[in-house]
Amino acid sequence: MSLLRSAALLFAGVFALGFVLGVLRTLLLAPWLGELAAVAVELPVILAASWWWCGWLLRRSDERSLRGSGARALAMGAIALGLLLAAELGLSMILAGRSAGEHLALYALPAHQLGLAAQCLFGLMPWLWLRRRASRP
């Protein structure tokens, strides 16, 4: 599986789950817990699922081409992260009617900062997953 295909599949799986969880978080958890706590509850679920999905994809891809090069694994994660951030911006603009500037201003809020930190971790997952696998005997 090519690097671009792997990154696109990583993005697509996590984006689909994140969309569903985001709707549930917004409609069910946030009114009850508040936005920051709701994001904190959602993050372990989405990160665990992202880790599993990343591993599943890497096991089925030509992992050898990524294993020898940390840069290729980082590129896969960076592409997936870029797609995720672009899709999030697009949804914010389309569904919430925000401008790009208004969307970016949301990152000043703690809940969005926490979400962005988790997204950055998501972007590192292919590299972390391969690194962890390589360190196993």
pLDDT tens digits, one per residue of 49-82: 999 999 999 888 765 555 556 888 899 999 999 9
Can you tell me the distance from the alpha carbon of 57 to that of 51, in angstroms, rounded to the nearest whole number?
10
Residue 47, class by beta-carbon neighbours within 10 Å (0-12 exposed, 13-18 middle, 19+ buried)?
Answer: middle
Please list, in sequence order, all residues whose beta carbon lies within 8 angstroms of the beta carbon of residue 6, skipping any fewer than 6 positions away. Answer: 57, 58, 61, 76, 126
pLDDT for residue 26 is more than 80: yes
Has this prediction a pTM greater than 0.85?
yes
- Min mean pLDDT across 26-35, 107-116, 125-134 is at 125-134
